[in-house]
């Protein structure tokens, strides 16, 4: 099992460009999450999904959109990238059981110039 | 609003000693706390979950305690090894939505040979 796979691993964008980060999980998990991790800030939840076709806002959703067209995939989009969105982005998945942990990918390092 | 704090940004310890990391929470009463390990360039990996009605949980050289009076969880690594060097994150469920987690900023542990 690959677990949670994120693509790409690294990306450099110019301000105003758009891009989509892809997250795929092979554990048949219902829930999926997108976080950003910044120095001194810890992991912050951007958006999450509790099932195929559903999405919801997390703590820091502004400037991002998401889609969950298939259960195994969760896409994070930046429509018009800003330098403040320079960060490391992590995707995670979990079952519906709150006693079970989240499983994380290894992140996408995104720089906005 | 709910807050989770890991007071020590970094902790250095001699190999063979016990490392103790602290996680404090305020303004809420979490049903459980989770501990994750994060290595440089990698995503967090789940280690242990402790529920509010559990005083202590163990897994090999790891031990976690949960003190609801002090609003604190302690994470111990006994007989520490250089391979234990990593950042350790404390997390608890948020008050809103799904199984969303709220993370502390982490403690970077360095075990010195």
pLDDT digit string, tens, across residues B47-92: 999 998 998 999 999 999 999 899 999 999 999 999 999 999 999 9
Q: How far apart, in whole angstroms, are the C-alpha atoms of residue B40 and residue B22?
A: 21
**Per-residue confidence (pLDDT) for residue A90, from 0 to 100:** 98
**Per-residue confidence (pLDDT) for residue A46, from 0 to 100:** 96
Interface membership of A74 toward B (CB under 8 Å): no
Sorted by sequence, the CB contacts under 8 Å of residue A74 that are 6+ apart come out as A23, A25, A32, A33, A34, A49, A66, A67, A68, A91, A93
B49, B99, B103: residue with CB nearest A42: B103
Q: Which residues of chain A have pLDDT under 70?
A: 1
Q: How far apart, in whole angstroms, are the C-alpha atoms of residue A26 and residue B105?
A: 28
B45, B51, B105: residue with CB nearest A42: B105
Q: H or E element: which one contains B66?
A: strand B62-67
Contacts across the A-B interface (CB distance below 8 Å): 62
| B106, pLDDT greater than 80 | yes
Q: Tokens for A47, please give them.
A: 């958006």
| B11, pLDDT greater than 80 | yes
The secondary structure of chain B in percent helix, strand, coil, rounded to multiples of 5, reads 5, 55, 40
Task: State the maximum Cα–Cα separation within chain A, in Å, rounded to a whole number.
Answer: 41
Across the interface, whether the CB atoms of B45 and A104 are under 8 A apart is answered: yes
Across the interface, whether the CB atoms of B42 and A106 are under 8 A apart is answered: yes
Interface membership of B46 toward A (CB under 8 Å): yes
* pLDDT one-digit tens code per residue, A38-57: 988 889 999 999 999 999 99
Q: Of A6-15, B23-32, B94-103, which has the strongest mean pLDDT?
A: A6-15
Q: What is the mean pLDDT of residues B17-37?
A: 92
Q: Tokens for B13, please give them.
A: 């310890």
| B94, pLDDT greater than 90 | no
How buried is B26 (Cβ within 10 angstroms: 0-12 exposed, 13-18 middle, 19+ buried)? exposed
């Amino acid at each position: 099992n690959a677990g949670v796979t994120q693509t790409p691993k690294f990306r450099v964008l110019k301000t105003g460009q758009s891009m989509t980060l892809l997250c795929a999980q092979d554990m048949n998990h219902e829930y999926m999450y997108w976080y950003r991790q910044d120095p001194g800030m810890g992991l912050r939840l951007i958006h999450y999904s509790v099932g195929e076709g559903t999405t919801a806002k997390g703590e820091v959703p502004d400037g991002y959109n998401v889609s969950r067209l298939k259960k195994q995939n969760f896409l994070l989009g930046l429509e018009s990238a800003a330098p403040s969105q320079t960060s490391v982005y992590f995707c995670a998945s979990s079952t519906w059981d709150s006693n079970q942990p989240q499983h994380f990918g290894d992140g996408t390092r995104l720089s906005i110039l | 609003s709910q807050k989770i704090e890991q007071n020590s940004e970094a902790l250095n310890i001699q190999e063979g000693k016990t490392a103790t990391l602290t996680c404090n929470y305020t303004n809420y009463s979490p049903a459980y706390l989770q501990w994750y390990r994060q290595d440089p360039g990698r995503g967090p990996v789940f280690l242990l979950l402790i529920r509010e009605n559990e005083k202590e949980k163990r897994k090999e050289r790891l031990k976690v305690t949960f003190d609801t009076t002090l609003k604190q969880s302690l994470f111990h690594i006994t007989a520490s090894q250089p391979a234990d060097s990593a950042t350790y994150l404390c997390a608890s469920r948020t008050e809103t939505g799904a199984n969303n987690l709220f993370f502390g900023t982490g403690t970077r542990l360095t075990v010195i040979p």
